[in-house]
Structure 1
Amino acid sequence: MPSNSNEILGKRLLVVVAHPDDESFLVSGTTHENRRRGGVAWLICATAGEHGRAYLQRPVTPAQMKVIRTRELRAVAKHLGVARLFCLGLPDKGVEKRSGALRRRTTAIARDFHPDYILSFGPDGISGHTDHIATGLAARQAARKLHVPFLAFTLPPKLVANAHQWMRKRRKHGSYSDRIHYSKPTVKIVIVRSVKWKAMSLHRSQLRAGRPFDTIPRFAAVEFLKAEYFVSSKGNEDI
């Protein structure tokens, strides 16, 4: 696998995710490393994740959950040194129906930012979550329209064979596709473990036992904390 970190880091990165904590799970180490090398990142989050209430000890309303998760996301953005954060407030579990609005907003933000790369979900959505898939499609369409290279999140190579099994066990809320095919990574970014661990820890409302990665096998957590992986494509190509 080619490691194109020198080409990608120290650049202008536009990260587009569906829910608060997606950024921490998939691209927090890369965002930190990019900033350390003099780059700048903007972050778009399509929803506030108001239905992500599986691990709370007390009942809260969706409106309260929006406040909680947005606050957590802002803390992560500060931790990672994100230059600008855009919380779009689209309905959790409803991104697919608002994909046109997301595409237009993402395109407008990208025009202002002039990113070197746009990073988001690939067709698998990592977990198959339809919000993830719709978000990635909108980001790819924006990248294609503006002729910006696109980087799709993907899994560490060692996890691909059995990922479907434990990914399904993590499913709590939302609609999921069972047709998942993980693409082979073309980019590997070695990350600082402690940075990613803290980013995940700041999403306290999403931690089952107060610890990051408690809902996935230990061997998978080890791989996620070593490096982050992407599939690259040009702005006019599909993945």
Structure 2
Amino acid sequence: MLTQSQALEYLIQLLAFALVLFTSIPVHEVSHGLVAYWLGDPTAKNAGRLTLNPFKHFDLFGTIALFLVHVGWAKPVPIDPRYFKKPKRDIVLVSLAGPLSNFILAFFAMIGYKICFYAYAVMPGSMVLYVLRTVFYSAVLINITLMIFNLLPIPPNDGFKILGVFLPQRTYFTLLKYERYGMIIIVVLLLVGALQGPLSWLQSVIANLLIHLTGFVEIVLRILFKL
């Protein structure tokens, strides 16, 4: 049975997880739609998907998968490549926008986490700092996971759309027929642990990259806090 402190810690982690999901997933989807709109495609805008309202983007089964295997998906933002002046290039740019937004969110979350980490060392026991540190930590992990997951070259992921630009058209459309089974395949692979090793390795690589890219934070904080 959980102690009171353990229950509180679990509740904070759960709320942090939910808060990050309800912000990161909409940002990811809106990024796709915005880049498409900038490139001449108003489809996402006309469908009301250029909004940070999470309920406009969440997919029921994707949300359930998030809680079961900690990886899920949202409703894809509608894109019409016929509006693009250079379809192959623009599809790649639109597809990259989502994962890139997650990387940017993870970058700033890492900065926030480091600030809270050092501040907590100076003011131990601060509940506000503890909660913020938990939120930022969750934001780093979840956004890294979303970025990596969406770059997997399996339909309907962004990685498949990027790969499709370089595939023969016949091969691309043949694979696209199995798009509805893509997420099922991914969930099964996750449940049996087939993707655990590669995903964990990639998460570690990206996390270490972010730690190095935000190295300036430690320098500034050590000067400020005289650590």
When normalised by structure 1's length, the TM-score is 0.28
The structure with the greater share of residues assigned to strand is 1
Which has the larger Rg?
2
Higher relative contact order (CA 8 A, sep 6+): 1
